[in-house]
Amino acid sequence: MTLDSLLDDARDRLDGAVSLRRTLHRHPEIGLELPFTQERVIEAIEDLPLAVATGHSTTSVTARLRGARPGPTILLRGDMDALPMPEDSGVEFASGVEGTMHACGHDLHTAMLVGAARMLSDRRQELSGDVLFMFQPGEEGHHGARVMLDEGLLDPVDGSAVDAAFALHVTTWSPTGTIALRPGPTMASADVLLITVTGRGGHASTPHRALDPIPVACEIVQAIQTMVTRRVDPFDPAVVTVAKISAGTTSNVIPETAEIVGTIRAVSERTRAEVHANLRRLAENIAAAHGAEATVEVETGYPVTVNDVDAARFVTAVATELLGPDHVFSMPAPAMGAEDWSYVLQRVPGAMAFLGACPPGLDPAKAPSNHSNRVVFDEKAMTAGMALYSAVALRRLGGA
C-alpha cells in the first residue's frame, strides 16, 4: 500500500478539522483543567471504535484503537491547553475568553489528532497492534504529560506495551506543510531562576550607612552573561535570560533586597547541571564580595526533549515518502524552547517533528511566532499533520 491515499483522505477531512479547531480556539482553557475541550474531544471521537478513558487528576483523554491483529502499541500525542495572554490576531474566530489565547497551536494539534483517529479507525483492519491517542492538558508549564504518566499512560494493556511515540508541533518558522526534525536533542530543558540579594536598607542620601543590594544585583546580571559565553561549551549551549529585576519602593529609600528572575535553558543534562552550579557560585560569591548575601533558587522545569535516533530516521523516511523530499528538512540545531513531551521520550523511543504552518504571503522568518499575541497559523497545514500521524502509525504497525 502506498501513502498517497492518506493525503487525499486528510484533504477530505480538513473542513471537519478546521471546524473543531476554531471551536477550541474560541474557547481556550489553561492548565490541567480543560472541561470544555475535553467534552469536545470526546464528542468528536465517540462514534469511533475506541476505548476512551479520562484522567483522574486532570482532564486528559486517552483513546485506544485495537488493531485487527495483535502487536505493539504506538502513542500519538496532541496537547490541548492555551496560554494566559491576550489575542490580537484579528481572526474572525478569535478567543472569546479574555486574557486567554491558543497562541501555540495546541488547538490545531488536538484537531489533527482527532482527524488521525478517524483516519486510522477506518483502517483498523490494516493494523497489527494498537494506537494510543493521547490528548494532553497542561503542556504550558503544568507538567501535564508527567501527570498522565503518573496515572498509568504507558501501562501495558493485554500484554501490549507502548514501544513507540510520536508528536507534531506546528510552527510559523517554516512553510505550510513542511516537516522539520532531527535526531538527538531537539528542544531544550527549561528551569526558572530566582536570585534574592539581601543587603541593608537605608536612606538614599547616605548609601555608606546602608548596603545597597541593587548594584550587587546588577553586577550579578552582568556576570551571568559572561558566565554563559566563557564557561559554557558553545557546541553544547545554554541560554540564561534575566527577564525581571525588582527592588525598592520609592526614590529616596535604599531597599533591603533585590530580586532577579529568569530562565535557564540547555540541550544536555550535563550542561544543565553545570549552569545551575555556576549560577549559585557566581551569585553567592559576588554578593559576599560586597558584604551582602545571595540565595539562589532553581525551579526545575521540563527536561531536554531528545528524539530517539532510529525513531527520527523512521519519521523522516515516512514523511519523505508521504510529502516528498522537498517538504522534509533536517533541523541543524535544537530549538531552545521546551516541551513536556520530553517526559514521554524519557520512557519510550520516539520523536517530535515540527509542522510548518506559516500563512501564505508571510515570510516565515518574520511572521508572528508561537506565543505571539498576533500569531496566525495556516489551517491547511492540518492536512499534512493528519496524514503524517496516520502514516507513522500505519508504517509502524505494518499496515502500509
Catalytic residues: 302, 379
- The CA R_g of the chain, rounded to the nearest whole Å, is 24
43 strand-pairing partners = none
Looking from the CA of 200 toward its CB, the CA atoms found within 13 Å total: 9
Q: Per residue, what are the HEC states of the chain?
A: CCCHHHHHHHHHHHHHHHHHHHHHHHCCCCCCCCHHHHHHHHHHHCCCCEEEEECCCCCCEEEEEECCEEEEEEEEEEECCCECCCCCCCCCCCCCCCCCECCCCHHHHHHHHHHHHHHHHCCHHHCEEEEEEEEECCCCCCCHHHHHHHCCCCCCECCECEEEEEEEEEEEEEECCCEEECCEEEECCCEEEEEEEECECEECCCHHHCECHHHHHHHHHHHHHHHHHHHCCCCCCEEEEEEEEEECCCCCEECCEEEEEEEEEECCHHHHHHHHHHHHHHHHHHHHHCCCEEEEEEECCCCCEEECHHHHHHHHHHHHHHHCHHHEEECCCCECCCCCHHHHHCCCCEEEEEEEEECCCCCCCCCCCCCCCCCCCCCCHHHHHHHHHHHHHHHHCCCC
Helix pair 269-289, 213-231: axis angle to 10 deg: 150
